[in-house]
């Protein structure tokens, strides 16, 4: 595999927090009534009130950090609508909305699409191929990392590259506990990521090692509490409680970890990032790829 973008080296430098704009959905109808990933066990009771308090704490943390949080009204019968990150990908004010893999989540598509259409986003396109938004797409500076293997189709990676005009690097996930890219990889700033190597195939690991030689490698124990499902503003990193070593690694790299307990939402396979869709409205000039605009981490 030949990378089409330059390797990211973070080095020892001062971290900078940048204000973000997020979209979130309260867990008013949250529950685990079906099973579409290994975390979901309908027989295990869910405390919706506790989930609501944990979500409130996450939102309050973002606000306290100076971020803007938009709220979409939840819809009855859509227990996973709380996981706003899966609703689409927003870059430079353009939106590619999700096309979900499973029937159980397809009802979320229309309310999120309507929200974008009525909230100042002029270019809103529904994905032609199965894609699950920021669940499987991670913006790192001017490139986009893209996951496949369990949810988003590989063809959606080409669609993202064409629509946003940015280099897209494909990565294949191989452990169904880490069914979305954002359960196995976290963007820390425009040059740095953290990821759980065992979630990726050999080609994906080689790709990440080449592109991000200074990346933080997350341990088994921290991955198992969805520690990678974190949200960063470039300095503060909101991390699911229990990812202790990851917090130490972040602090050693110059970030400030902030732990939030999202254990109830984890029963459905989500944590901080899953609840948080970033609304990127500011255009940034993408780096010109060396050869084309799209590369895959492996040949499959």
- For residues 190, 195, 201 and 202, what is the CA-based torsion angle, rounded to 10 degrees? 80
DSSP string, 84-115: GGGGEEEETTEEEE-B-SSGGGGGGHHHHHHH
Neighbouring residues of 69: CB distance < 8 A, sequence distance ≥ 6: 21, 22, 23, 24, 59, 62, 63
236 given a catalytic annotation = no
CA dist., res. 203 & res. 219, Å (int): 20
In eight-state DSSP terms, residue 299 is -
Going 27 to 29 to 33 to 34, the CA torsion angle's sign is negative
Place of tokens 């609508």: 81
Which two structure tokens, joined as six digits, stand for 278? 């970033």
Task: Identify the active-site residue in 25, 67, 157, 180.
Answer: 180
Residues with Cβ within 8 Å of 45's Cβ and at least 6 positions away in sequence, in order, are none
Question: How many angstroms separate the CA atoms of 169 and 146, rounded?
Answer: 6
CA distances from 35 to 43, 131, 176 (A): 10, 19, 13
Question: Residues 25, 228, 274, 275: which is the catalytic one?
Answer: 274
Is 186 catalytic? The answer is no
For 265, residues 6+ apart whose C-beta sits below 8 A from its C-beta are 27, 30, 51, 54, 55, 82, 271, 274, 275
CA Rg, the chain, in Å? 17
Residues annotated as catalytic (active site), given as ranges: 180, 274
């Amino acid at each position: 595999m030949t990378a089409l973008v330059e390797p990211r080296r973070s080095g020892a430098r001062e971290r900078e927090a940048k204000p973000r704009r997020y979209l979130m959905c309260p867990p008013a109808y949250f529950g685990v009534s079906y099973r579409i990933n290994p975390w979901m066990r309908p027989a295990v009771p869910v405390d919706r009130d506790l989930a609501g308090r944990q979500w409130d704490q996450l939102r309050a943390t973002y606000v306290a950090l100076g971020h803007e949080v938009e709220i979409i009204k939840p819809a009855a019968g859509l227990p996973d609508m709380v996981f706003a990150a899966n609703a689409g990908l927003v870059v430079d004010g353009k939106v590619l909305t999700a096309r979900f893999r499973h029937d159980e989540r397809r009802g979320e598509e229309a309310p999120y699409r309507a929200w974008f259409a009525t909230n100042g986003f002029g270019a809103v396109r529904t994905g032609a191929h199965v894609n699950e938004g920021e669940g499987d797409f991670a913006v790192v500076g001017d490139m986009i990392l893209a996951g496949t293997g369990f949810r988003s189709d590989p063809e959606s990676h080409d669609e993202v590259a064409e629509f946003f005009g940015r280099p897209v690097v494909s990565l294949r996930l191989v452990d169904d506990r880490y069914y979305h890219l954002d359960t196995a990889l976290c963007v820390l700033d425009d040059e740095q990521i953290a990821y759980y190597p065992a979630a990726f195939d050999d080609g994906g690991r080689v790709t990440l090692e080449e592109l991000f030689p200074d990346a933080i490698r997350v341990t088994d124990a921290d991955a198992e509490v969805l520690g990678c499902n974190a949200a960063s503003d470039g300095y503060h990193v909101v991390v699911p409680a229990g990812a202790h070593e990851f917090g130490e690694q972040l602090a050693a790299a110059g970030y400030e970890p902030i732990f939030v307990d999202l254990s109830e939402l984890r029963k459905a396979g989500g944590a901080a990032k899953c609840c948080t869709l970033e609304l990127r409205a500011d255009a940034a000039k993408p780096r010109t790829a060396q050869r084309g605009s799209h590369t895959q981490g492996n040949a499959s």
